[in-house]
Structure 1
Amino acid sequence: MTDHQQKRNIISLPHSVFSADWVRENEKQGARQIGVSLYQLMERAGESAFLLCRKLYPDARHWLILCGHGNNGGDGYVIGCYARQCGIEVTLVGCGDEFTLPPEARQAREHWSNNYGPVLPENTAWPEHCDLIVDGLLGPGIQSEPREPYASLIHKANQYSAPIVALDIPSGLNANTGSASGAVIQASQTLTFVALKSGLLTGHARNVTGTLYYDALGLSDWVMEQNSSIQRVTVTNLKQWIKPRSPCSHKGDHGKLLVIGGDIGTGGAIRMAAEAALRTGSGLVRVLTRAEHIAPILAARPELMVQELTAEHLDTGIAWADAIAIGPGLGTSEWAKAAIKQVSASEKIMLWDADALNLLAISPDKRQNRIITPHPGEAARLLQCQIQQIENDRLLSARKLAERYGGVVVLKGAGTVIADENHHLAIADVGNAGMASGGMGDVLSGIIASLCGQGLSPFDAACAGCVIHGGAADIVAWRQGERGMIATDLLREIPTLVNP
């Protein structure tokens, strides 16, 4: 173990996020600033990955290391050398020849060859059994579908029963967008280097990265000095947004929220949004809905104020409210369109969700006092494109929505993206697959709108709301598992998160 390694540990994930393009263009400057060469940086990466593999899989005695033609492959050669020094059996497969490699990777390959024998070509038969696979095939520079022989190697690795540790990013995953247009490594763990890349946190990334680890390779101070346009937000950020309350405060100090929706047959949606707002800390919540839903909602949650949605009640409610949420269960009938038209005249902070977004797609407008919370299907309607185009680059899609519709955008999904017109961008690194059930979006709407009513800026309310929502789901998953989670399960966990 080197002196550098003794002074350094793999640290928790940072909150600053960068594009892979930025890292590739600037890491040489960072290395120069701390007085190391790119080859020394590669040695650090390989050593870090080797130690992580040893920690995670101490009983693995035969490693299969797959090395591509870039610097990720160079990391793989370094790992192979460390493994052999420790008596581990290594099958090392390299793509291409040494003359196609960058200088640093070529040096690492030559060190392997001079000490441990030739690199096996990509068409080599693999051992029938190995304990661990290290993926150093394709790095964060890939922008398209993997070509041969990489596609075949990726498919072959995924078919093995051995766990896979990916270096920097799973091969085939776009490090900027989190999309995967072809073959992609299904990693058990991913160790990323220097800076956290945006493509590791959203899109298809959740399916393929496994547990994510990070090592700055000694560049953490330099990385912290850089301006990042993307922030990773988690439950650890809640203290910066949610402050203790004054012992002398009263219900009027904590936000009056008007919640509008719940056409016939969808009263549950508006009830969940309204109760989520109460659980998030709203002082008063008023619901405007169909007359048929008034008694059931009051019976279920008597703390709510519930009235029939009429033009008169809506005028009164808008004048009374500090913030407005419209859309859960709203439908697209004339009743819904009239409500949207009336709300649109207000300058108060508002959140539009669900059918309010479908109506917005029909009659688009741009305004600064609105948060919109589309899922990918609604986002595609708002941008008049295909869902796959949204998912291919979720960060760009969120930016486009903010440019076209103004205000703040919450693009829901695995790795929810929050964006505004001022080029602020955040990725909510919370949540789990149990959230793929009806009503989750209604709960999110209530949480975010409640925070707006309590005085947070729309962007901060959106970030904090997404973290509370996903964090509550993570608590539920920890307690009971993901399968069978329903939206109302989150309600009892919200108070834990809004009292950090």
Structure 2
Amino acid sequence: MPHTKDDLPDALYSAAQVRGLDASLIAAGTPGFELMQRAARATWRALVRQWPTANELTVLAGHGNNAGDGYLVAALAQRAGWQVRVLAVGEPSRLQGDAALAHTDAVSEKVSIEIWAEHSELRGIVLDALLGTGLAGEVREPYASAIAAINACGLPVAAVDIPSGLCADTGRLLGVAVRADLTVTFIGLKLGLFTGDAADVVGELVFNDLHADPQILENAPISARRLSAGYLPRLAPRPPTSHKGKFGHVLLIGGDRGFGGAILLSAQSALRSGAGMVSVATRSEHVPAALARIPEAMVLGTSSANQLMGLLEKVSVLVVGPGLGQAGWGRSLLSAAANAPLPQVWDADALNMLADEQVKLPADCIITPHPGEAARLLGMTTAEVQADRPAAAHALSKKYTAVVILKGAGSLIAGPDGRLAVCHQGHPAMATAGLGDVLAGLVGALLAQGMAAFDAACLAVWLHANAGAQQGKSGRGLAASDLIPAIRQLLEEQAPCLK
């Protein structure tokens, strides 16, 4: 998985915001060429660290500042005695400003510079210095062919600042993108490095702030925060006089015929994540299985919404949707929940019925759509959601005045106040059924223990992803229930029950 080192900062920026930081640093007295030299030195150090026995470098350079970084890295490698070639995909005569100075530096070091052609041979370490963060539309020729050649070469690949073809703002592939083993990025982390398609192309991520003035960074606007062990909301420790009544009562509603396992996974997750009490409203035929699996839960066999009314007055948080179905039974229970003045987590079929406008979302809700559900809620295609996941998360939060967890690679948490958080942890083994049910129960338990909705969503997503990363080390065959003990352990490590 990418991002194996967690010494990265938490602030995430758009490409425009990073360009603004760059301009502020230059205005404050650091010449642009000096920043370019710092970026080249940072890249060179990362290359040597990653591939300590290498001695050959092929740089593919475009004609912007990204190419300037590449030419300077080539000059550094030449001075170190490496065999070096630059393949210029962008015509060197088009280089301007600092990038032109960098080209001159490479020429003065007698770096071999050739015009790239489709038959050009790539050797040693391949350095992508083609397009950078300024790319707006789809990758065009000859860059698309150059990227295809990099991806087919079978050699170690490093990218300068961002893999060429990856959108710095959204994490979308702009037609085609370099698949890097290592990406060295500068000044500010780009949001697009952490969501969407990024995990497939970024490789290990190394960050260097180029000795930027911390005050300039502190005062600059950001797009999002990256969730990490150092940037997480935490549950307060429990006093010795604690009792179950202090930590909420979660009611989980769902499990129509054929879907009983989903609501049981959610209930087990809520129980193991610290909710004081857990109740389950499900089909009567699922009651024996629920009591056998979770004897600590109170289970109500429910045939109609009327049976919920007394219970709704006693609980503090609702989790609605796992296994709910969209038949009459599920619709009636969801309608009852929607009229209850309680904090709620809506998942799965609750979201599908919300998208069909069969019900209105109450206040103080967290919704947990995957991209397909998000598309239905926004009246667009799944591809359109995935093309700009941050925009989709913000749009959902605004439309429903809710905290939104947009699931998927690089899960996003958006708040109605405009806040956005990104969780890039996880594991491919998590591509299995039931994990959303576990997440919904976990969110409900954190709400029940007194966390604010945005904080509960952030902590839940981080715990869930990291439990998956931990359990995913065993490979394929991960079961959703495998995450629950790992979540409990991680929660205790992050927020000990007792000081």
CA gap of 1:124–1:431, structure 2 versus 1, over 3 A, is: closer
Pick aligned residue for 2:36 from 42, 45, 51: 42
SS of the residue aligned with 2:309?
helix
Give the equivalent residue in structure 1 for 2:497.
none
- Note if 1:278 corresponds to 2:271: yes
Q: Distance in 2 between matches of 1:485 and 1:237?
A: 27
Pick aligned residue for 1:411 from 406, 422, 427: 406
Q: Distance in 1 between matches of 2:236 and 2:213?
A: 29
CA gap of 1:11–1:167, structure 2 versus 1, over 3 A, is: farther
Give the equivalent residue in structure 1 for 2:480.
487
- Note if 1:352 corresponds to 2:340: no
8 Å CA contact 2:253, 2:280 repeated in 1? yes
8 Å CA contact 1:122, 1:149 repeated in 2? no
**TM-score, with normalisation over the residues of structure 1?**
0.94
* AA matched with 2:52: P
* AA matched with 2:293: A
SS of the residue aligned with 2:344?
strand
8 Å CA contact 1:94, 1:121 repeated in 2? yes
Deviation at 1:311, TM superposition (A): 2.6
Give the equivalent residue in structure 2 for 1:378.
373
Pick aligned residue for 1:400 from 395, 414, 428: 395
Deviation at 1:132, TM superposition (A): 0.9
CA gap of 1:40–1:333, structure 2 versus 1, over 3 A, is: same
Give the equivalent residue in structure 2 for 1:155.
148
Give the equivalent residue in structure 2 for 1:4.
none
Considering only aligned residues, what root-mean-square deviation do their CA atoms show, in Å? 1.5
CA gap of 1:220–1:317, structure 2 versus 1, over 3 A, is: farther
Give the equivalent residue in structure 2 for 1:231.
225
SS of the residue aligned with 1:120?
strand
* AA matched with 1:460: D
8 Å CA contact 1:193, 1:215 repeated in 2? yes
Cα deviation, 1:102-153, whole Å, max 9, x if unaligned, reads: 30101000111122155211227433x6221111111011121111110000
Cα deviation, 1:243-262, whole Å, max 9, x if unaligned, reads: 21111100111111000000
Deviation at 1:366, TM superposition (A): 5.1
Q: Distance in 1 between matches of 2:365 and 2:160?
A: 41
Counting only pairs closer than 5 Å after superposition, residues 414-429 of structure 1 correspond to structure 2 as 414-429=409-424
8 Å CA contact 1:194, 1:220 repeated in 2? no
Give the equivalent residue in structure 2 for 1:469.
464
Give the equivalent residue in structure 2 for 1:308.
301
Pick aligned residue for 2:8 from 8, 13, 16: 13
Pick aligned residue for 2:360 from 357, 362, 365: 365
Give the equivalent residue in structure 1 for 2:59.
65
Pick aligned residue for 2:189 from 196, 216, 226: 196
CA gap of 1:163–1:286, structure 2 versus 1, over 3 A, is: same
8 Å CA contact 1:234, 1:429 repeated in 2? no
* AA matched with 1:437: T
- Note if 1:178 corresponds to 2:178: no
Deviation at 1:236, TM superposition (A): 3.3
CA gap of 1:260–1:118, structure 2 versus 1, over 3 A, is: same
SS of the residue aligned with 2:332?
helix
SS of the residue aligned with 1:116?
coil
8 Å CA contact 1:235, 1:468 repeated in 2? no
Structure 2: tracts of 5 or more residues without a match: 495-499
Q: Distance in 2 between matches of 1:466 and 1:235?
A: 12
Deviation at 1:227, TM superposition (A): 3.3
CA gap of 1:11–1:455, structure 2 versus 1, over 3 A, is: closer
* AA matched with 2:100: R
Structure 1: which 4+ aligned runs deviate by more than 6 Å?
none
Give the equivalent residue in structure 1 for 2:333.
339
Deviation at 1:322, TM superposition (A): 1.0
Pick aligned residue for 2:253 from 242, 260, 275: 260
Structure 1: tracts of 5 or more residues without a match: 1-9
Pick aligned residue for 1:78 from 49, 65, 72: 72
* AA matched with 1:115: E
CA gap of 1:279–1:146, structure 2 versus 1, over 3 A, is: same
Q: Distance in 1 between matches of 2:220 and 2:234?
A: 23
- Note if 1:443 corresponds to 2:438: yes
8 Å CA contact 2:86, 2:113 repeated in 1? yes
Give the equivalent residue in structure 2 for 1:206.
199
The farther-off stretch of 361-370 and 201-210 is 361-370
Cα deviation, 1:172-221, whole Å, max 9, x if unaligned, reads: 00000000131210001111110000100000001110111111111161
- How many residue pairs get aligned? The number is 486
Cα deviation, 1:71-129, whole Å, max 9, x if unaligned, reads: 110000010011011100011112333342230101000111122155211227433x6
